Amino acid sequence: MKKLMPLLLSAVLLSNAVACQKSNEPIGKTSAPANQSNASSGKLKNQAAAIPAGTSFDTILQQDLSTGKNRNNERFTLRVKGGDKTLKDAVIQGHLEDVVKAAKGKKASLHLVFDDIKLANGAAAPLDVTLVNTQVETKTKGKFVQNAGIILAGAVAGKFVGDKAKFKHGTLAGGAAATAYVLSSPGGEVVLKKGTNVKLKLKKPLDTSP
């Protein structure tokens, strides 16, 4: 009996050592999938926090704009209405460039540049959009024209004048460049009245994470 005791103790110790070794192995092996799942969830979260390119939305001009009264680099504000829930009540800042007042032999025109957007959740980002359509009133005729082929004379290079420090990492989409949209009037001054609907479309995905 005394001879059997050391053998039994050795068997117990050996089985415990094997059990400990096996219990330790899965910990190391399961850590990698956990990290992968965290990375995947992070990617999904970022994708959910972006509005895709091609999204169209309507905005409302918050002040009167006119080639007869406004000057270069004056700011204007648009408020988003309806459309995507994330964009609702967002505020867009823009400015004017190359304002030309109507004169004899000279057609009135101005360039609209859309600088940045601030969402209701506090997120701010530079804005890269296409001007789809708007309404321009001619002062001489007093009628609204909705034909984009007439009022939208094309797009040219503009300059970003927003505060890039308020964006993540202080970065800008496309550097300091921006797109300016040329509006001209069939007769008289170009007039955009407060409350005018301005339709825009995203050219690039918009990050909406705060």
34 and 60 inside one domain: no
| Cβ pair 140, 188 in contact under 8 A | yes
Distance CA 59, CA 91 (A): 9
pLDDT at site 9: 43
pLDDT over 80 at 114, yes or no: yes
Domain shared by 42 and 125, yes or no: no
Q: How much is the pLDDT for 137?
A: 63
Query: How high is the pLDDT of residue 41?
Result: 46
155/132 Cα distance (integer angstroms) = 11
| Owner of token pair 């825009």 | 200
Residues 68 and 109 occupy one common structural domain = yes
Is the domain of 19 the same as that of 123? no
Band the pLDDT of 24: cuts 50, 70, 90: low
How confident is the model at residue 36, as a pLDDT?
Answer: 55
User: Does position 168 have pLDDT exceeding 60, yes or no?
Assistant: no
Q: Is the pTM of this model over 0.75?
A: no
Same domain, 103 and 189: yes
Residue 141 has pLDDT above 50, yes or no: yes
CA-nearest of 76, 87, 75, 80 to 207 is: 87
Q: What is the pLDDT of residue 14?
A: 46
Domain count, the chain: 2
Residue 92, helix vs strand vs coil = strand
- Residue 43's pLDDT band, with cuts at 50, 70 and 90, is very low
- Sign for the pseudo-dihedral over CA of 83, 86, 87, 88: positive
Note whether 155 and 124 are same-domain residues.
yes
Q: Residue 172: pLDDT above 90? A: no
pLDDT of residue 209: 84
Q: Identify any residues that bridge with 178 across adjacent strands, giving them in sequence order.
A: 158
Q: Where are the beta strands (DSSP E) in 52-196?
A: 56-61, 65-66, 75-81, 91-100, 109-118, 124-126, 129-133, 136-138, 144-145, 152-159, 177-184, 190-192
Min mean pLDDT across 49-58, 110-119, 147-156 is at 147-156
CATH (domain of 148): 2.40.128
Same domain for 203 and 100: yes
**Mean pLDDT value of segment 63-92:** 93
Same domain, 32 and 67: no
Q: With CA atoms as reference, report the closest residue to 70 among 105, 107, 103, 95.
A: 95
Indicate the pairing of strand 144-145 with strand 197-202. unpaired
Q: How confident is the model at residue 181, as a pLDDT? A: 86
Residue range of the domain that includes 38:
1-48
DSSP 8-state class, residue 169: G
Instruction: With a cut of 50, say whether residue 196 has pLDDT above it.
Output: yes
